[in-house]
Amino acid sequence: MNRPSLVNSTVLIVGGAGFIGSHLVDRIQAEGATRIIIVDNLFTGKKENLYHALSNGAVFHVDNAEDQEVLNYIMEKYDIDIVFNCATKALNYSFYNPSNAFLTNVLVLKNLLELQRKQAFQTLCHFSSSEAYGSSQYQPMDEQHPLAPTTTYAAGKASADLMLQSYVKMFDLDAFIVRPFNNYGPRQNFEGDLAGVIPLTIKKILDGDAPEIHGPGQQTRDFIYVEDAVDIATKVFPLIPAGECVNISTDQQLSIENVVETIIDVMNYKGKVLRMPNRKADVISHRGSVKKLQSICGQYPKTSFKDGIAATVNWVKDSV
């Protein structure tokens, strides 16, 4: 495979001020990339997430990657070799603005694929989501699982994946997909309506409020610690063939009830838990097969859920 190495390359990370993107920035900087450029419109991203990266020479543009002209000027300004696309608007946002949540997931990737087709850069790693699969039709869910989205957010992710695969077939592009399951860890948003369940629960307990479980609590997710996820993304980077997709998951599932219980245990919370109505279109169960991941890169890190939660609790405490 004639793919540039992350070492000694100029790497663009779109959505790089966000939760996963900023960890990826740190990881790729540690790998020894020559230069890192970040484009993020700060919709949910935060400049603080880039504190280390910017002090180590990364360059940050606050701009909208849905606008083709923006990515055009970035490509003209820098000699980019590799692009990672982490830009998205949170799943919850699709309940407020279904059309734009869908379009962000499609347009940013379309703009990048058009530039790649014109040879503006060599390799594209696109971050999809387990949400594209919808609720599991069988378990563990492998990469052949049908795409059956239940939200416009997920429909945008599924559409983007199909678009990437068709561009690869039509124009021989060096582009591929990583498909994370639920990430958690430091820098995940704990504020407002777009917050993730884990940091939101931690924040509620710190504020003296009761944590909430929406729906039966038996809905399951395959939770992966964010630093493990970005480590895996860099491990598969040189190995996964163009056009292919690989799950970033643990092959374990935890119910939302288990998750809240672990947080309660780690934080030594003695109060009550509120039961709330089910969220509409919530996927029922997710457990991602790691078979393909293992066949590509062998061993990979697996932070225990309790250790990952403890690190996340410490980070939320330091951030409030």
Ligand X SMILES: NC(=O)c1ccc[n+]([C@@H]2O[C@H](COP(=O)([O-])OP(=O)(O)OC[C@H]3O[C@@H](n4cnc5c(N)ncnc54)[C@H](O)[C@@H]3O)[C@@H](O)[C@H]2O)c1
Binding site for ligand X (CB under 6 A): 14-15, 17-21, 39-45, 64-66, 86-90, 104, 108, 127, 129-130, 157, 180, 182-183
CB-nearer residue toward ligand X: 177 or 269:
177
For CA atoms 156, 199, 311, 284, give the dihedral sign.
negative
Nearest approach, Cβ of residue 264 and ligand X (Å)? 21
Closest contact distance (angstroms) between CB of 205 and ligand X is 20
Alpha-carbon gap, residue 225 to 260, rounded angstroms: 16
CB of residue 159 vs ligand X: minimum separation in angstroms?
13
Q: Which is nearer to ligand X, 190 or 269 (by Cβ)?
A: 190
Measured from the CB atom, the residue of 19 and 60 that comes closer to ligand X is 19
Q: Which is nearer to ligand X, 44 or 159 (CB)?
A: 44
Closest approach, Cβ 270 to ligand X, in A, equals 29
Indicate the residue among 101 and 168 with the shorter CB distance to ligand X. 101
Q: Shortest distance, CB of residue 208 to ligand X, whole angstroms?
A: 26
Closer residue to ligand X, CB minimum distance, 146 or 271? 146
* Structural contact between residues 11 and 81, judged by C-beta atoms closer than 8 angstroms: yes
Q: What whole-number distance in Å separates Cα of residue 6 and Cα of residue 33?
A: 6
Tell me how far apart the alpha carbons of residues 94 and 281 are, in angstroms, rounded to a whole number.
11
Q: How far is the CB of 11 from ligand X (least distance, A)?
A: 16
